Copies of this chain bind each other. A is one copy, B any other.
Amino acid sequence: MKSAGIVVEYNPFHNGHLHHILQTKRITGAEVLIAVMSGHFLQRGEPALLSKWARAKMALHSGVDLVVELPYYFATQKAETFAFGAIALLHELGVDSFCFGSESGDIKTFEKTANLLEEQNEQIQNEVQKWIKTGISYPKAQSLAMKNVLKDVSLLDTSKPNNILGLQYIKAKNRLSPDMKAYTIPRQGAGYHDKQPNKSIASATGIRHSIFHPNGVRLDGVKPYVPNATFTELKKYLSTFGVLHHWELYWPYLQYQLLSAKPKELQSIYEVEEGIEYRLIEAAHQSTSFQQFMESVKTKRYTWTRLQRMCVHILTHASKEQMAAESDYPSYIRVLGMTSKGREYLRNVKKTLQIPLIAKASAYRNLLTADIKATNIFAMGLPSNKRSALLNSDLLFSPVIIP
């Protein structure tokens, strides 16, 4: 079976994602489509709107055949580690090709840039260090260093988030799986300067913005931009649990943690560096919401995203030690959901897999520590009498199966 992979967060699934799926199938000619999806906390350091189970269901209803989870160790990381983990899983699953959305939309540019980066890596790293010292953020320093060293205006615009990710996909592919074929399609919708914008496409950011209205959670504005299956799932989740997840639901726990933990405990948390724990503690005392907290800790050096990821790690007690030990290479493939075609694919590749394939998690609880904890902390965003529906779901749930 010819297979293709995609890397997704689906927060939530929308028409742009459907476009990505259809285009991927068309371009690659794949019969089976495999998505590596973040779990309950996402690359930008945010809780997902809905549980990973609900998001896996959305994906399976829209053309994905197999959803595997990008482990916490990779999902809540900067582009390089995130991309590496995702490509490693696609590599382990033996996909023939993969396809990502980007602002550029031109795979040649990605490949050329990746090659140049490889050749001039040392020089770029030196340049990055110089820029970092001026007090700017790492992504900005990297983008400036590349511009200065590569000096080729026709190269990739690495100030764009999906170009950055795409470049990391290509670098990971070159390293892990040179035979895997890479494709990119231009991103549709908000933020992409299309001459004839597709009216039914909005970005996930835009959709979340319209959901979290100052007067409460609203789904009406979302309907034109998502497939019916997504809309149904959103409505069902909201009526079952009374909430869609967002940072403010976790603010009391983050504030509690920052008020109760000793600075030394915070220093042991992944990404907490350079004494920022004191700044975080101080802000936790002064702030009445996550938004206010973030605004008061934000500096030129620390991007919003980096700070949010740090807060996720504080929330889940993810230690430097544990993250360092586990983010070298994924040590398992966790199946969140599949169609019968996805199941058949798994049956075929099963024997060649180098790392354990996990459908029922209870036998692998030690491998999944961080994902289980992330799920349980994610569940704390639900009202107390609803939490049990998600608590320990990693150990209790079987993969979502769609015929």
Contact = CB atoms under 8 A, between A and B. Distances in A.
B260 A317 contact: yes
A380 B256 contact: yes
A385 B259 contact: no
B384 A261 contact: no
Interface in A297-318: 315-317
A260 B260 CA distance: 13
Contact of A253 (B252, B315, B376, B387): B252
Interface stretch (A106-114, A195-203, A272-280, A281-289): A281-289
A251 interface: yes
B259 A256 contact: no
Q: Chain A, interface size: which category?
A: 20 to 34
30 contacts: A251-B384, A252-B253, A252-B380, A253-B253, A253-B256, A255-B380, A255-B387, A256-B256, A256-B257, A256-B377, A257-B260, A259-B373, A259-B376, A259-B380, A259-B391, A260-B315, A260-B317, A260-B373, A260-B376, A260-B377, A262-B317, A265-B265, A265-B317, A285-B376, A285-B392, A286-B388, A288-B384, A288-B387, A288-B388, A289-B384
Given A288-B385, A289-B384, 9 more contacts: A259-B376, A259-B377, A259-B380, A259-B391, A260-B317, A260-B373, A265-B265, A285-B391, A288-B388
Interface on chain A toward B: helix, strand, loop, or mixed SS?
Answer: helix
